[in-house]
Amino acid sequence: MEKLVTDQHVNFLLGGYDTSLVEAQEVVPDQYRIPYVEGGGAASEIFKRGYKYVFGTLASIYNMGKFTLGFVSAQQTAGKLPKPLTIALVWENTDHGKDYETAVLEEAQTHPDLFRIVLNQAFQLNGSDFSPLLQQVKASGAQAFLSDAHLPDFITMHRQYLQLGLYHQFVTYGGRGPDQKGRQALGPGADYLIAAVWWTPALKDPASQLFTEKYMRQYHQIPDWFQALSYDTARVLLQAIREAKGLDGPAVRDVLAKLVMRNSLLPGGIIRFAPDGQIIAPYVMVQNTPSNTVRIVWPQKLPEARDPTLPMPRMQ
């Protein structure tokens, strides 16, 4: 990244994917006073280091964990899941995974009548054999399985989960499950998984539907959240440049800090940033349904929300 600044003399930095990469890169924008708008790093640790030129369009993984257990609590109230729900929790050994673990443990400590953690185990990123970990999950006797994983690990882990014949009343891989690569790799085995996502083509607002239609017409496939977030991330930076009326880095940074972008694809339709640079935005919970479809299942206030299928059917 530094070479883009020193050799290519770029005015702004756009993009980024994966928490660990964004963490390694974020010193550069402040050093050279060049705004960096990223839509791929969601760990809250990215935004705890005091940098002023980094802005992220993904709500935190910590909030994802909180939101997920809020959904679970609503299903317990509806009689779809037991109280307390015993949980096997596994998470990638990164700041991304630690965010998720922290949120789930806090909820379990605050609501012992609702959640009981019977397994809490980290795993290494980019694994090839999760069988020993999944045997621990099986031995725990948990009613729910919560995993925070990036896409390749989700595919590998869930394939082995199915091969081992595991079953839980509720299964989530954090933000994974509806991804097209995952559904192609896992087929019906991914049906009924539940995920907390930043965006979904199941949203029926005009901006989301128009984006989905144009994307499918251009690329002949269903968009995932990361394509939508990439689009909005670019729009945020371009709007800030327009409002700053120039290419001065500090001026654009000041606009970003106060920006309110309307007609966003994200739930609620608005992008704005907290003082630390991370977006203030909600999640939606979705559930995979057969034939590569997905439905929104929470919050129920959304007009397109439908009741989830819980307990989950046994997957093949």
pLDDT over 70 at 316, yes or no = no
The Cα 127–Cα 13 span in angstroms is: 31
The Cα 134–Cα 228 span in angstroms is: 33
Nearest Cα residue to 261 out of 283, 282, 233, 288:
233
Cβ partners under 8 Å of residue 184, min gap 6: none
Nearest Cα residue to 90 out of 160, 163, 179, 174:
174
pLDDT over 90 at 15, yes or no = no
Q: What is the mean pLDDT of residues 39-52?
A: 92
Share of the chain above pLDDT 70, in %: 100
Q: What is the mean pLDDT of residues 167-195?
A: 97
pLDDT band at 212 (very low <50, low <70, confident <90, very high): very high
Cβ partners under 8 Å of residue 79, min gap 6: none
- The size of the chain, in residues, is 316
Tens digit of pLDDT for each residue in 188-208? 999 999 999 999 999 999 999
Cβ partners under 8 Å of residue 147, min gap 6: 89, 90, 91, 154, 157, 172, 173, 174
Q: Are 64 and 175 in contact (CB under 8 A)?
A: yes
Per-domain boundaries in the chain: 2-60+226-271, 61-202+284-298
Other CB atoms within 10 Å distance of the CB of residue 5? 17
Strands (E), 25-169: 36-38, 54-56, 85-92, 115-123, 144-148
Report whether CATH 3.30.930.10 matches the domain 2-60+226-271. Answer: no
Q: What is the mean pLDDT of residues 213-219?
A: 97
Question: C-alpha distances in angstroms, 175 versus 68, 195, 197?
Answer: 10, 5, 5
pLDDT of residue 88: 98
Q: Are 77 and 310 in contact (CB under 8 A)?
A: no
- pTM for this predicted structure: 0.95
pLDDT band at 178 (very low <50, low <70, confident <90, very high): very high
Tens digit of pLDDT for each residue in 242-274? 999 999 999 999 999 999 999 999 999 999 999
* Helix, strand, or coil (residue 263): coil
pLDDT of residue 238: 97
Two domains, one topology: 2-60+226-271 and 61-202+284-298: yes
Name the H helices within 58-130: 61-77, 95-110
Nearest Cα residue to 124 out of 156, 146, 170:
156
Tens digit of pLDDT for each residue in 143-163? 999 999 999 999 999 999 999
Share of the chain above pLDDT 90, in %: 93
Angle between helices 61-77 and 95-110 (to 10 degrees): 30
Q: Are 169 and 195 in contact (CB under 8 A)?
A: no
pLDDT band at 16 (very low <50, low <70, confident <90, very high): confident
CATH class entry, domain 61-202+284-298: alpha beta
DSSP count for the chain of H helices, then E strands: 11, 12
Angle CA 254–257–259, to nearest 5: 100
Nearest Cα residue to 229 out of 193, 202, 267, 192:
267
* Helix, strand, or coil (residue 150): coil
